[in-house]
Structure 1
Amino acid sequence: MTPTARQQARHWQRAPGSLTQRLFAWGGEVRVQRLRQQVAPLLPGEAADLGLAPGTRCLVREVVLHVGDAPVVWARSVAPHAALSGPWKALVGLGTRPLAALLFDDPAVSRTPLRPQWHPRGSRWHQRADEAWRTVAGQPWPASVVAARSSVFWRRGMPLRVFEAFSPAMLASPTATPPTSPRPR
């Protein structure tokens, strides 16, 4: 990763608020492509971030966010299966709508601080990003490192972990710095 791309990644990793709204302000039309939504195994760190025992059944939703025709973000959200009949039940019917609609329009939802992450080739996170990118773009994740961020949202005592990985093409753009004030909803 070039120094410029690493600097761009840091801007996106720390940008507060709705990533979808920032992407809209940055590049216009944002489209959500759902890759999968199912009960699936957790990746390293997810159980601990959610305060769950390893092996707890969780719903996993993976999407790619596109700006125009370009895929720019691979995202993975994880919620305990028990939360799907409670505070996060709307997640099941979300389809191709952005997750932001559930997270930022509800004053009962709180968020932990954003945590920047860097996942090298060979890590389970890089492997998942690579699989998603092959599905969407027909090619592997185009970098040796996945620059990402994660945080946990809480609603009525139940967690929802959100992980967002930024495509190298997005980070290479000289205009890729996230806008400071996203368009209001």
Structure 2
Amino acid sequence: MPHIASHRWSHPASRAPRALHDWLVHPGSLTARLIARFPDFRVRLLRQHYAMPCRDELKALGMPRPALAVVREVVLLSGDTPLVFAHSVMPREALMHGFGSIRRQGTKPLGATLFANPRVQRSQLAFRGLDRRHTLYRRASAAVGPLPARLWARRSRFELFNARILVTEVFLPATLR
């Protein structure tokens, strides 16, 4: 499976703070790891609607031209403490051919669905530092309130047959506790 690094998304995560490195590079389910560390884990669905993906998301998904996709945004929490802001892009084709059950995901963690299916393949992880200029930083801040000047994110593509979805996870300060 080809990697998904593009402008400013890179490999490896060596520029990230040492305390966050293990969270960023963990190859398994982030959901399972958060549940193990934070027993009061829950998902707050912010939105799931059709929208235009960003240019680099289109490229990472191999979409030849701009098209609407389902964009899902959630906050993963421990009780009321936000841990991760997650942003997923799901092209219509992916929802019709392989990932159809995600339309009814609601507050169920997406990771639980993706990692439960052994046929789903995951791309290499890509990493990026985000600041106030980045759309995902601003969306995370709107969802959870004031944030430090820099956050770190990772993203990967999940594939089931020819269906692809892109998942970006933005790590919030409480993850480091």
Residue 45 of structure 1: SS of its match in structure 2? helix
Q: Does 1:155 align with 2:166?
A: no
> Residue 105 of structure 2 corresponds to which residue in structure 1?
94
Structure 2 CA distance, aligned partners of 1:116 and 1:8?
15
Task: Flag structure 1 segments of 5+ consecutive residues without an equivalent.
Answer: 134-138, 174-185
In structure 2, the gaps of 5 or more residues are: 1-15
Q: How does 1:40-55 map to 2 (within 5 A)?
A: 40-55=51-66
Aligned to 2:3: none
Q: Is 2:130 aligned against 1:119?
A: yes
CA drift of 1:69 comes to 2.4
Match of 1:71 among 77, 82, 85: 82
Query: What's the % identity of the aligned pairs?
Result: 38
Three-state SS of the structure 1 residue aligned to 2:28 is: coil
Counting matched residue pairs gives 162
Amino acid in the other structure paired with 2:109: P
1:44 CA drift (Å): 4.5
- TM-score, structure 1 normalization: 0.82
State the alpha-carbon separation in 2 of the partners of residues 130 and 38 from structure 1.
Answer: 19
Deviations 1:71-104 (A, max 9, x none): 1100011111122122111110010001122211
SS where residue 122 of structure 1 aligns? coil
| Mapped partners of 1:19, 1:27: distance in 2 | 12
Over the residues paired in the alignment, what is the CA RMSD in angstroms? Answer: 1.5
2:108 maps to 1:103? no
- Give the Cα–Cα distance (whole angstroms) in 2 for the partners of residues 123 and 144 of structure 1: 11
Note if 1:167 corresponds to 2:150: no
* Contact 1:13–1:115 (CA under 8 A) maintained in structure 2: no
